[in-house]
């Protein structure tokens, strides 16, 4: 997860990460026995046991924190210049996808 705040994820990537996360949690917690019958745990049951948000939501949260950090940087910083020219387009698309309002003045 190191450096995930700078990842630009497509919808396909989000789905693959979500599937991988659920698969790992199912292996970690294993099946459950109900009335003598074994079954796999539901997604809700896994989230309740794990007590954490899914991996995609965690990455988005960290990305937003990073965007806020970079937005507060001085204009002369290299990271700020790169952000203003490249990542901002991807980041704004991600925010619109999540239903966020405009997050800063243009």
| Mean pLDDT (the chain, rounded) | 79
Q: Is residue 102 part of a domain?
A: no
Does 15 fall in a domain? yes
Domain holding 74, by residue range, is: 4-97
Q: Is pLDDT above 50 for 23?
A: yes
Asked whether residue 8 is assigned to any structural domain, the reply reads yes
Residue 63 belongs to some domain of the structure: yes
Using CA of residue 74, residue 70, residue 86, residue 93, what is the dihedral sign?
negative
pLDDT of residue 88: 54
- 57 inside domain: yes
- The count of domains in the chain is 1
Q: Tens digit of pLDDT for each residue in 61-99?
A: 888 888 888 888 998 898 888 877 766 555 555 555 555
Residue 104: inside a domain, yes or no?
Answer: no
The neighbour count for residue 60, using CB atoms within 10 Å, is 21
């Amino acid at each position: 997860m190191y450096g995930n705040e700078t990842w630009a994820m497509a919808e396909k990537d989000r789905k693959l990460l979500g599937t991988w996360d659920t698969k790992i949690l199912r292996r970690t917690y294993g099946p459950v026995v109900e009335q003598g019958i074994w079954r796999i745990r539901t997604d809700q049951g896994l989230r309740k046991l794990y007590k954490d948000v899914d991996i995609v939501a965690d990455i988005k949260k960290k990305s937003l924190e990073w965007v806020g950090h970079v937005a507060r940087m001085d204009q002369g910083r290299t990271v700020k210049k790169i952000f203003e020219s490249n990542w901002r387009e991807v980041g704004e698309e991600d925010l619109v996808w999540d239903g966020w309002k405009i997050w800063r003045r243009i």
